[in-house]
Structure 1
């Protein structure tokens, strides 16, 4: 499993193992290429060094974890231990003997990578998200925007990246979600400003689905999904995501 874990890190994140200690040639550190922060350490240690019976040599991985509640839950499970040779409040050790599934180990590696990553790396590697974004028909004829085109330029919202999904909420007098779109390009330079609107960058969005204006109205969003305001890009709940699909 150690080889599989190291291959996973190298393939997904392009991080190669570094042997930093001459006395410990089997200790491999993985870190970010830009900020140089560690996000995983693969080692082999005696079992009793991590608090389990015996002195047999075992392969382990240390990953960072900032959620103290999740840390406490994991430490109650077999083959999870406080971080070996690391800050035990922020790192956990996982034994690589197959007791913890490869998929679970990869999830913990991904979480450790994200929490130690720079803003640029987080943007590059994060998974696609779904957003509701507002569209004011007073400033743009969004109701008819997709009548002749499947792809349009739109103001880029903070946090939105290529691959994300945006559900366009058209303001009064429509007051409803009308379109589902895929973001196919971002960070297009643009400079516009007036008393109502400032745009610094555009994104290209591609129409995927239309909704009837009486389906996902503001009242439905508020009463059934707890969305009381749509003033800028915002995430959506799992229940609303399922309904929109």
Structure 2
């Protein structure tokens, strides 16, 4: 797999977004150019007619392709800097012009995208032997509330349809009082390989509407979360999000300006406090910020991030975060009440 392809794996191009981002038509493909590193290099990225993304870096001083970024073995700091800034451009394109395409059915992809947009939860793959299985977890206790996977239809309907084609299904937790009434309707089945008293399976073939399924997904998310947990409507909230320094070193940007613009994440709103967790090998929350504005530009939602405090990596390492109820940070998630209190204490002298 090429360096560029890693950013677009299991994603599908939204052709309508390309022109707004800055792509121009070149024959059968769309092309985008952007200079970086003080105009020393140019990223030249093309989306081919079949949706494949290819790219190269041009060394503008020499007028020829710069190939060192493709080297896998350890390289110098300058090459890493070129690669990192090129990666940021690819990531921007992936976020602005592509949608996740994890599944074979359009309905499964629509539902997964809607869950990410509604809750900000990031899916993961829990089974090494079943790589296509995808779960969404409660951000509070990491319990599953939605499991997407592919099976043959007859394993779900027990041969009643007489069909054995591969289909996408969704398993969700359900109120036991509601379960019998749903099982009497088309499209709902006893849970496949999960507790049939409290879980339900839906075949994602459009026999059940997206709206009905998303309502059940929201209820499933509530059922698996600790009792009494609820977002504070209308009040500032506290979030923690991951940052991979191999893809984007936010510290370099904060050193230049405490105000930065990021793609809008999940349900984060203006006035919220956001902690930035640095992923492995650091594995610690390093920055505390405030979201000062949410706005739309170029057909995409953005948020203005203002740095409040830089932490040491011993302030909130993963060990302490786990003690405060945050065991993993796979995507944007709300802080636990214990972590909120600890963060408020740290920020008490900042205001």
Q: TM-score, normalised by structure 2?
A: 0.34
Larger Rg, first or second structure (1 or 2): 1
Q: TM-score, normalised by structure 1?
A: 0.48
